[in-house]
Amino acid sequence: MAAVTLLALGNGAPDVFASVAAVASGNPKTGFGAILSAGTFVSAFVVGFVGIYASPFNVDPSSFIRDVLFYLMAAFLLFYVYLSGELYFWQAIGFVGFYLFFVGFVFWMDFGSGVKKLLILRRKFVWNLWILRREIMFMKVILGVFQFLRRYVF
């Protein structure tokens, strides 16, 4: 659960602020393009680098297929909005609803099989908290660089 809630928030917060800033400055395609390119970076470079560094490791096939299918669906919907050049309020609500449905689906899959899963999730949660702390430190560095660039370059 931490991977689709806390870690997703920590990982996606810079993208949210950068996209809102791009849309507010009159460059909506740049904002949406940044989201798509960030997702491509995470799904290609980060996964590839982790695979090189930590392979071989086992991946739960059902969780992997679930996450890939939801990711592809979200990317397809975002690409549709990107090509149309407009985002209506009902589409924005649909994206939020899609994410909430995804979180609920993950919750149902993870907690649907009893106490053994809860013990595994507890161990994963402790590990994910450590990763979250590391990502928050990384976000602070990125935010500092962004503020520096904004102050002295732009």
Predicted confidence at residue 109, as pLDDT, reads 80
Q: Which residues of 129-143 are buried (b: 16+ CB within 10 A; e: fewer)?
A: eeebeebeeeeeeee
In sign, the C-alpha dihedral spanning 95, 101, 103, 105 is negative
Cα–Cα distance between 42 and 36 in angstroms, integer? 10
**Cα–Cα distance, 97 to 77 (Å, whole number):** 13
Cα dihedral sign for 118, 97, 130, 52?
Answer: positive
What per-residue confidence (pLDDT) applies to 97? 92
149/74 Cα distance (integer angstroms): 31
Task: Write out residues in the chain with pLDDT < 70, as ranges.
Answer: 1-7, 112-132, 154
pLDDT recorded at residue 79: 80
Residue 1 is predicted with a pLDDT of 58
Polymer length in residues for the chain: 154
